[in-house]
Homo-oligomer: A and B are copies of this chain.
């Protein structure tokens, strides 16, 4: 543990750390599989333990409770989404075009990995504020969310610079708005797709796939600079 200890020892500590993280990840993998099969609520810790080839007790060695484990899934998801958002920022486009790209990235993400989207909803449904305030994984999730929002702000700022977006808006407010609306629309889409008999669409015959392009169209017109 102390600095005076020989190199070999330090290396071995490194390996242990690595193995520990690996096992943690494999538990999250297992949890994801089980949740995909059974759903968030129906999934049990016993099932997850079995799937991850670990005893129940060990599970609780890595995650203080079920919520913490689910938060970890959330954290993974927000990390992934964040990375994809970041990539958009590296491309050379107008602000408005980047906003559209972010929207498409978001939609693709949710389509490809609906589990993470569900996990986000789960996270938001957590009532216990104390837990959220203390838990380090929750803090990570927050960090990622903040980061994502910042990406949107940046795109809007670029758009205001290049004239593709009306610069009389407050970019931060507008970013929050874009974010909220996208979430709302995607949520609705998911909802309608999942239970295919969901009231709103039944005899309404609206094409859900048209909803996101429509959002972009309306938002763009609403945000466009003169």
Contact = CB atoms under 8 A, between A and B. Distances in A.
Contacts of A145: 199-200
B195 A132 contact: yes
A176 to B, nearest CB: 6
A180 interface: yes
A188 B199 contact: no
B124 A191 contact: yes
- In the complex, the count of this chain's copies comes to 2
Interface stretch (A4-12, A99-107, A214-222): A214-222
A42 B128 CA distance: 10
Interface stretch (A13-21, A24-32, A80-88, A201-209): A201-209
Interface in A27-49: 39-42
A173 B206 contact: yes
A53 interface: no
Contacts of A199: 141-143, 145-146
Interface of A: 39-42, 121-122, 124-125, 127, 129, 132-133, 141-143, 145-146, 149, 169-170, 172-174, 176-177, 179-185, 187-188, 191, 194-195, 197-200, 202, 204-207, 210-211, 214-215, 217-223
Given A41-B127, A172-B206, A183-B188, 4 more contacts: A145-B200, A173-B207, A217-B222, A219-B222
